[in-house]
Amino acid sequence: MVRAWFMADVTGKDQRDPLMLDPPEDVDLEYLREHTHVLYFKLDPKNYEEELGKIRKERGYTYQDELICSPDKLPNYEDKLKMFFVEHLHRDEEIRFVLEGSGYFDVRDPEDRWIRIHVLPGDLLVLPAGIYHRFTLDHTTQSVFGESKKDVLEEMPEEDVRIGRTHEDEDNMKSQEEQDHPVEVCIH
């Protein structure tokens, strides 16, 4: 089961730390859904194709993409990881699915408080359109991250991390996305 909590200030700290308040203030799935409209699904990371296919069909996702996020496979790896942690939003929802590894998605609630969501294998998040969010790795893994409309995140260990479309590609894809409402799905 996914774990989420209200975050402490990241200023001067390692963004890959848990950054819990003292004392910690956990956020349950009901609060997450009601206040941020983030949806959570738990899939079997070893046997997910059928259930992921149902979710894709129900939500109208049609496009799959992949990119590799590891120091030896992603150009400007460190810069990309910093870019992923920059707060941003999208006009359409995104999906992130974790196959292996782990990391953090941070989302803002209506009161402008950051909520940190620790994602592990099998976790699938649907981030609604217009929500401020960012992503970072935790200390245990390199992670998969794609950035565009409606994409699915999968994470893999440091030696084999795959990523789909990057931020730079988003502008190039806008006209196509407006036509067929694709979903980026990182599949290994």
SS3 174: helix
| DSSP H or E stretch at residue 37 | none
Query: Is 94 marked as a binding-site residue?
Result: yes
| Residue 88 known to bind ligand | yes
- What residue type is 14 in one-letter code? D
Q: For residue 184, what is the enclosing H or E element? A: strand 184-185
What is the distance between the alpha carbons of residues 93 and 105, in angstroms, rounded to a whole number?
14
Positive or negative torsion for Cα 94, 95, 101, 102: positive
* Whether the Cβ atoms of residue 151 and residue 95 lie closer than 8 Å to each other: yes
Is cis: bond before 23, omega within 30 of 0?
A: yes
Q: Extract the annotated binding site for Fe(2+).
A: 88, 90, 94, 133
Q: Extract the annotated binding site for Ni(2+).
A: 88, 90, 94, 133
Q: Extract the annotated binding site.
A: 88, 90, 94, 133
